[in-house]
Amino acid sequence: MFRAFQLSGLAGLSEPIPDLYSSASEKEEETAAAVVKDLRELLRPDGEVDASLIQNLWFPQVQVDVFISHSHKDQTQALNLAGFLYKAFGIRTFVDSSVWKIGDELLREIDNMFCRNDDDTTYSYVKRNGTTAHVHMMLTAALSKMLDRTECVVFLNTPNSITPRASSRNTNSSWIYLELALIDVLQTREPKRPLAKSLVEGTLSRGVEKRADFKPFYPVSMSRLRALALDHVFEWARAWTEIVRQSEDARIHPLDVLYWLTGVR
């Protein structure tokens, strides 16, 4: 990971934008269906399974530019953003909600095969605790690797993901807590390509009541996440369009433009 941003002001992305949302959503659905099918084939009747194979299927070794971290309630915003980044810059994204969906399906398959009680209508509490722990451990390990090898992270900072409490910021999501904690400790990795700061600068200078739910909250650190607003994303797109118009220099990457505009490089 090289740089991380917290993106706010997402009201303009709260409803599906057809040409952005549909392409990202369809790709996510196709990927999830294919992965679940392959994962199902790995589950053997004797219960033995290579956890590394599951992780590799779940998180294939594909190169993405941006990791989008978000609350499950903000999936529409995340998919709209993913579609926009691809349409405007050709930037490939990893939307973390796709892995939660796959995780739920994987747990359902495992629990149906190995955790049913003798009556075949209920599940063993102890066995389900075990399978959930295994799947979540696989997910944690794979997420760590994905964050580590992705150049840029964009966290959608909304009331669904972060809740201010007194003097601290908190989240009710254990997975957002995990991702923000990882962002805080992962080593900064320079991109393998030379960062084109001078090239970017030169080009742009020319132009009903119910029982309470269990809701633990986790204090989080966001010190490494540079603030970003949706207007900044649109400004980034305009700047990139201008660069493409004026220059054919292949050394300039869209993310270099973002870093230059936000002063992080």
Instruction: Residue 191: name the closest of 237, 243, 240, 252 by CA.
Output: 252
Asked if pLDDT for residue 248 goes beyond 80, the answer is: no
The domain locations on the chain are: 3-205+213-262
pLDDT digits (tens, 9 = 90+) for 136-184: 888 888 888 889 989 999 999 999 999 877 667 899 999 899 999 999 9
CA 133 to chain centre: 21
Q: What is the pTM of this model?
A: 0.82
Strands 66-69 and 152-156: parallel
Length of the chain: 265
Do 229 and 8 form a contact (C-beta atoms < 8 A)?
yes
Rounded mean pLDDT, 215-224: 84
**DSSP string covering 155-223:** EE--TTT-EEETTEEEES-HHHHHHHHHHHHSPP---SSPP-HHHHHHHHTT----PPP----EE---T
Structure tokens at 63: 């190169």
Instruction: Report the phi/psi class of residue 263: left, alpha or beta, with left for phi > 0 and alpha for psi in -120 to 50.
Output: left
Q: List pLDDT tens digits, range 81-121.
A: 999 999 999 998 988 877 777 778 888 888 988 899 988 88
pLDDT digits (tens, 9 = 90+) for 171-219: 999 989 999 999 999 999 888 888 777 777 777 666 545 566 667 778 8
Residue 226 near residue 264, CB atoms below 8 Å? yes
Q: How far, in Å, CA of 243 to CA of 207, rounded?
A: 9
| Residue at 187: amino acid letter | Q
Per the CB < 8 A criterion, the answer to whether 173 and 181 are in contact is no
Q: Among residues 20, 18, 16, 70, which one has the least CA distance to residue 234? A: 20
Q: Which two tokens stand for residue 234?
A: 């649109």
Rounded to whole angstroms, the Cα distance separating 231 from 205 reads: 20
Cβ neighbours of residue 245 closer than 8 Å, sequence gap 6 or more: none
Per the CB < 8 A criterion, the answer to whether 91 and 85 are in contact is: yes
